[in-house]
Amino acid sequence: MSDTEIDVTDAELTESLAAVTDAEPLVQALTNEVTMNDVANLILHWGALPVMADSPGDAGEMARAASAVLVNTGQVPDGKIEAMHEAVETATEREVPVVLDPVGVGSTPTREAVAEDLLSTTEFSIIKGNYGEISSLAGVDSQVRGVESVGDYEEIERAARSLADSTGAIVVASGVEDIVADADSAYRIAAGHELLGEVVGTGCMLGATLAAFSGAVEDEHAAALHGTLAFGIAGERAAELAYRGPESYRTNFHDAVYGFSAESTDRDADESLEVDLEDRIERVV
């Protein structure tokens, strides 16, 4: 990946959103049972098609038809690990983008071993994790309690770039502000709402979003930037609707994603959503 400056415009964001709804990519998600329903629905609300084939045999077979594959390590029983390897092997053979969401890496040796084994056999298009998970994979000191990132990460841009350099993937580190990095650059994205952190599974849903975008947007860096940005803006739009707490906000978020996607399909090819992106994206490296 070159270090060319990327200037994300609302027209480019609209184009990527429309690409997802136009292509209707089949996204195979091998995710955990805690968030499976939200992941499936969010993929659908972006305009893609979800399929949750995660058992040995079926996983590899389904990957033959998938436009993108999402691997989420939120739960790692032996059968699911086998299915993950089948799916990513088939996807790699077909040159289909694969997104890794290393949930909980840094909290237990088992999860670290699963993620490292996947990284040793697969060239992932995008790796998405919270600050702690990304830092752990990059070999930097981190604190992950369960599946949550705790502690301070003043060098998160450096960690994300290091992981991108060693894996060849675009790395998305999610936090109060999100980092999207390749080996040569890092962008800080200011978008989202604090209530996203009060709903279990929003990290998994961001991984699902990146898989949906990567299945339709050819440029991996653009898919990661636009997907992360759209996710955050949808989180803000959800807060503009009436809610009483995290659960009603969660419903609003799904509705906001669906509405965001629908807006893009209602535009002519030369129109944009007129989203205010000023001060949203900053190149920090």
Task: DSSP letter for 203, please.
Answer: H
Q: Is 52 annotated as a binding residue?
A: yes
The CA–CA distances, whole Å, from 165 to 11, 97, 148, 183, 253 equal: 30, 18, 25, 4, 33
Distance (Å, whole) CA 195 – CA 151: 19
Could you tell me which of 257, 155, 222, 236 has the C-alpha nearest to residue 190?
236
127-159 CB burial, b ≥16 within 10 A, e <16: bbbbbbbbbbbbebebbbeebebeeebeebbbb
Q: Is 205 annotated as a binding residue?
A: no
Distance (Å, whole) CA 254 – CA 235: 9
Q: Is 201 annotated as a binding residue?
A: yes
Q: CA 245 from chain center: how many Å?
A: 25
Compute φ and ψ for 62, nearest 5 degrees: -65, -35
Is 134 within 8 Å of 105 (Cβ atoms)?
no
Q: Is 128 annotated as a binding residue?
A: yes
Distance (Å, whole) CA 158 – CA 207: 21
Residues annotated as binding site for ATP?
128, 174
Residues annotated as binding site?
52, 128, 174, 201
Residues annotated as binding site for substrate?
52, 201
